Amino acid sequence: MRAEQHDRPEQTEQPSQADPTTATGATAEADPDPGATTAETATATAGRRPPRTRKFPEGPAPDPAGSHFERRIRSFQPRRSRVTPGQADALRRLWPLWGFDIDGQRTLDPAAMFEGRPVVLEIGFGMGEATAQMAAADPDTGILAVDVHTPGQGNLLGLAERAGLRNLRVANGDAIILLRAMLPPASLDGLRVYFPDPWPKKRHHKRRLIQPEFLSLAAGVLKPGALLHCATDWEPYAEQMLEVLTAHPDYANTLPDGGYAPRPAFRPLTRFEGQGMDKGHRVHDLLFCRVEQ
């Protein structure tokens, strides 16, 4: 997800152009860590990643899946920005209560995690304002929010505490691993992917999240009738989303005549989105349901 869009990066990694749901070894196309030193890059290239410091001992891990999963081509670009004292305090106090790392080493029980509520997965939440608004407006739905942006994780935890939210959990790491290795079949009632990174250059299109292989992976953990909701303001990506969703046998457009949907009331209009609309940008919402085979 673009760093500026909703102040959040894209949240999920994809392994290869052919199949983003299966791990592959490092390739020449895999981007080096933009924050790594020359020595670190050389070490990673040699197949030996240097250890990353855990800034918050009881908070999100820098690389939660570790060596259990091979390096893959990323569909997101992690950002490194300063964690404020308030965000750091929220991470120290609240992460053990409401946060967890995506390590791929255990199977979750979403229904138990949210005390029997229906559960919606949100991939990419940035600073968390929109996510907190949706959780507050619908306390009977559990929101499992995934991101890799540490300041955003701390900010969302702080927002949840101040609003008294009990239907929100924050996950740190690769959402592909979460979908593939940690969620039981038919355990989710919805999936939200708002403003993922469009990767506008043609040679980077393989990094886009919404592709047939990802949709097949997601279909395995979505209940029949679950809502898949995507939104983007990048016209070519919206067209690709509509094409692959329409063609996929596991999904059906909620609009009888097909096409894009009006923005549903439950998706907040963010400040960045409003600024874009003032400049003439058009936002496309896509609402598809998981069909029963």
Catalytic residues: 197
Gap between the Cα atoms of 166 and 149, Å rounded: 21
Sheet with 222-232, edge to edge strand ranges: 99-101, 168-172, 142-147, 119-123, 188-194, 222-232, 284-290, 251-253
Region class of 199: left (phi > 0), else alpha (psi between -120 and 50), else beta = left
**Pair 49, 43: CB distance under 8 Å:** yes
Element (H, E) at 91: helix 85-98
CA 217 centroid distance within chain:
14
The tokens of 66 are what?
């570790």
Using alpha carbons, select from 96, 98, 100 the residue that is nearest to residue 108.
100
- Helical ranges in 128-211 per DSSP H: 129-137, 150-163, 175-177
The tokens of 268 are what?
């907040």
Pairing of strands 188-194, 222-232: parallel
